[in-house]
Amino acid sequence: MRRLGQLWLLLGCLLLAMTAMTAGAAPRVRVEETWPAGRDLTLKPNQSFFLRIAYATDTATRIWARPYFQGKPAKAGSNPSQPHQGNGQAIGWFFLFDAGTQVDEVRISAGDGRVNGTSVVAVYRVRIRADAGAADPGPRPQWVNDLLAADDRAQRAAAHAYVNQPASASDLLFMRVFMLAMLAALLAPLAMSAWAAWKWRGGWRLLGTLPGAWMAFVALRIVVDGMRDPTSHNLWPFEVLIFGVPCTLAMLAMFAVRKLRAK
């Protein structure tokens, strides 16, 4: 019994230690400056409000600044975020869509973007209203331009890395399965319609040739349009699937009906 109590005590200590480690690793953020400056502001609709956010984080973390009014999200657009790590500065921004929209706090969230992996780490109190007659705040300060440029470079680098990353085994498998499905969606209606034209008679023959004729028209249109304008059918595999699958199902239905009628 005593050993069991010691075991429970040890497990409790481990749980507390893990909780403390998790809490210690939480991102730390602080709003250092805003533009337009001040906490009581009137902005034009679609005019951006920028926040210079200092951060310290041990892991790759995304940071968002989102406006709220009376506990509910304001009708606004807000910044995306690239991962940040270490100590540095990030830029957050938002703009209000409509005149009359108000903001009483900006919630700064940090995490990986998942519901369970993202939390509010700071709240910045403001009084912001959107009014079409608001005064022009003047030119942006240099820190806004610098942080926007750095954010743009990070986005471009992330996009370049994503495009150039080697395909995984699952990606290659998906592409092969997709191309086989596309090929089947193209050839199946043609083959079944050819069989129907050879074996069936009367109205069934005419009906059976329609799906194949339609798929032949779709394929011919893609080829002809592509020769005139190579960008006209950039998503042609999806076009083949969109038309080929219903045509295949129609032919299968006709085969099934004929088999039932023959019994």
Q: Tell me the residue range of the domain where 216 lies.
A: 169-262
Element (H, E) at 64: strand 48-69
Do the domain assignments include residue 12?
Answer: no
Instruction: Count structural domains, the chain.
Output: 2
The domain boundary, picked from 164, 183, 200, lies at 164
Distance CA(30)–CA(32), nearest Å, equals: 6
Which of 164, 195, 228 lies at the terminal end of a domain, its last residue?
Answer: 164
Kindly state whether residue 4 falls inside one of the protein's structural domains.
Answer: no
Single-letter amino acid, residue 34 = T
Mean pLDDT of the region 219-226: 90
101 lies in some domain:
yes
- My answer on whether 84 and 177 are in the same domain is no
Domain identity same for 160 and 173: no
Same domain, 54 and 118: yes
pLDDT grade for 112, boundaries at 50, 70 and 90: confident
Boundary of a domain, candidates 123, 147, 164: 164
Confidence (pLDDT) at 84: 87
CA–CA separation, 255 and 224 (whole Å): 32
**In this structure, are 137 and 239 located in the same domain?**
no
Helices (H), 66-201: 142-164, 169-199
> Could you give the C-alpha distances from 153 to 82, 86, 146, 214, 244, in angstroms and in order?
10, 18, 11, 48, 43
Q: How confident is the model at residue 23 (pLDDT cuts 50, 70, 90)?
A: very low
**CATH number of the domain that residue 116 is part of:** 2.60.40.2550
What does the DSSP 8-state code read for residue 102? E
Are the C-beta atoms of 103 and 74 separated by less than 8 Å?
A: yes
Residue 8 lies in a domain: no
- Across the range 205-227, mean pLDDT stands at 92
DSSP secondary structure of 65-96: EEEEETTEE-SEEE-----EEEEEEEEEEEEE
- pTM reported for the whole predicted model: 0.58
Q: How confident is the model at residue 5 (pLDDT cuts 50, 70, 90)?
A: low
Please tell me whether residues 156 and 173 are part of one structural domain: no
**pLDDT at 161 (0 to 100):** 76
pLDDT of residue 19: 47
* Partners of 146 in the β-ladder: none
CB 33 within 8 A of CB 4: no
Q: Is 122 helix (H, G, I), strand (E, B) or coil?
A: strand
Summary mean pLDDT of the chain:
86
Q: Is 124 left (phi over 0), alpha (psi -120 to 50) or beta?
A: beta
Query: Quick one: 44 and 159 in the same domain?
Result: yes
